[in-house]
């Protein structure tokens, strides 16, 4: 694809104006305004930090099961189980706490905070992450609901379509397996159709949030229940540093949303922050980060929000009609939803 065409299918948002009142700022992907308002309230409370605000904001989405793509009771895997991913990054220390494929623990973003604050590790996964959470005082409980069980039942009844298997037999386009690898591996095109996997405005699988307090301390984070009907054990972009989110107090932060298996191959959040480092404004930084993906995946669905250290913000997106994000900054009393056309 040539550069001109790539530019045409990107969507942009006019960047926020830099003023003395742009900080603090809270911004998150999608129209999850309750999460933004909760974070906005916390960041103004005495003795509360940008970290506190980010955790409370993402926790709100987990509790409300935002669009069925965050928190418990959504996106069942091929076995009908919901698992969770979450990450927090500290832009001052570059420290990170993350969990992936977290089972039977509802509060993924809070567990990620414990990884950040109580370990020297970056990422804990699976049953061991759940055991760590129980050590930190979290209760083990099912993440399935009648709604998620019904989603899985319909998928199974429909012959397990769509699924994420390739180069296996029996034919995954007509069978639920179990599968075995084909004897001769056939490289496939990198292209994938968003519609096949349900990626779109109602299956984007992430809240990405950035909070900068009045002193300029930046935190970025994510929370998700992953791709619907994923192969058990799958981890997407959300808990991967530089993919789901990235923060650096010197330059700013970014958070991504969309087709996570594609995004984690290109680290768009890291690239966007590096673009800020190179002197680009937030909107341009977001556009250029997505161009790298579109070069290989012309039908990619995703979006980026980007904020520089002064609170100037922008966004870019591709593959959907509109990309909403929620933002509050400066002297605003509450968050508002902004939309960009794609």
Task: Kindly report, residue by residue over 291-303, the tens digit of the pLDDT.
Answer: 999 999 999 999 9
Q: Report pLDDT for 189.
A: 57
Tell me the β-bridge partners of 87: 98, 222
Q: Report pLDDT for 183.
A: 85
Q: Is the pLDDT of residue 2 over 50?
A: no
Q: Which comes out higher in pLDDT, residue 316 or 10?
A: 316
Q: Summarize pLDDT for 105-126 with one digit per residue, the tens.
A: 999 999 999 999 999 999 999 9
Q: Is the pLDDT of residue 317 over 50?
A: yes
Identify whether 206 is a catalytic site residue.
yes
Q: Report pLDDT for 8.
A: 35
Question: Residues 263-274: what's their mean pLDDT?
Answer: 97
Evaluated on CA atoms 73, 77, 78, 79, the torsion sign reads: negative
Q: Report pLDDT for 7.
A: 38
Catalytic residue from among 206, 224, 257, 318: 206
DSSP 9: T
Q: Is 71 helix (H, G, I), strand (E, B) or coil?
A: coil
The CA distance from 204 to 30, in Å, is 9
> In this structure, are strands 168-169 and 25-29 parallel, antiparallel, or unpaired?
unpaired
Alpha helices per DSSP H over the chain: 3-8, 33-43, 50-64, 108-118, 126-135, 146-157, 194-197, 260-263, 268-277, 282-294
Q: Is 275 exposed, middle or buried (0-12, 13-18, 19+ CB in 10 A)?
A: buried
Q: Report pLDDT for 21.
A: 61
Q: Report pLDDT for 341.
A: 85
Evaluated on CA atoms 158, 164, 166, 168, the torsion sign reads: negative
Domain 3-144+197-341 classification at class level = alpha beta
* Contact call for residues 316 and 12 (beta carbons, < 8 A): yes
For residue 149, give both structure tokens.
């069980």
């Amino acid at each position: 694809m040539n550069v001109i065409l790539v530019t045409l299918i990107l969507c942009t948002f006019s960047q926020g104006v830099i003023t003395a009142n742009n900080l603090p700022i809270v911004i998150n992907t999608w129209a999850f305004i309750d999460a933004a308002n909760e974070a906005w309230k916390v960041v103004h409370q005495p003795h509360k930090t940008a970290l506190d605000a980010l955790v409370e904001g993402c926790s709100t989405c987990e509790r409300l099961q935002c669009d069925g793509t965050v928190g418990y009771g959504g996106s069942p895997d091929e076995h009908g189980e919901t698992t969770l991913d979450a990450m927090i990054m500290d832009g001052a220390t570059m420290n990170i706490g993350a969990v992936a494929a977290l089972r039977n623990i509802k509060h993924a973003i809070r567990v990620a905070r414990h990884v950040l604050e109580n370990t020297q590790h970056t990422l804990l996964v699976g049953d061991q992450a759940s055991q760590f959470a129980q050590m930190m005082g979290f209760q083990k409980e099912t993440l399935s609901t009648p709604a998620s069980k019904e989603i899985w039942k319909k998928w199974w009844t429909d012959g397990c379509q769509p699924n994420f298997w390739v180069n296996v037999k029996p034919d995954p386009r007509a069978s639920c397996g179990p599968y075995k690898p084909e004897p001769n591996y056939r490289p496939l095109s990198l292209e994938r159709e968003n519609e096949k996997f349900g990626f779109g405005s109602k299956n984007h699988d992430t809240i990405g949030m950035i909070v900068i307090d009045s002193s300029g301390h930046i935190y970025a984070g994510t929370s998700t229940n992953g791709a619907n009907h994923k192969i058990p054990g799958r981890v997407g972009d959300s808990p991967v540093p530089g993919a789901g989110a990235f923060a650096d107090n010197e330059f700013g932060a970014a958070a991504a949303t969309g087709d996570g298996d594609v995004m984690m191959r290109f680290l768009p959040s890291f690239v966007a922050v590096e673009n800020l480092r190179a002197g680009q404004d937030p909107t341009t930084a977001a556009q250029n980060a997505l161009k790298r993906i579109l070069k290989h995946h012309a039908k990619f669905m995703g979006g980026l929000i980007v904020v520089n250290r002064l609170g100037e913000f922008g966004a870019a997106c591709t593959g959907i009609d509109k990309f909403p994000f929620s933002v509050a900054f400066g002297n605003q009393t509450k968050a508002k939803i902004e939309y960009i056309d794609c």
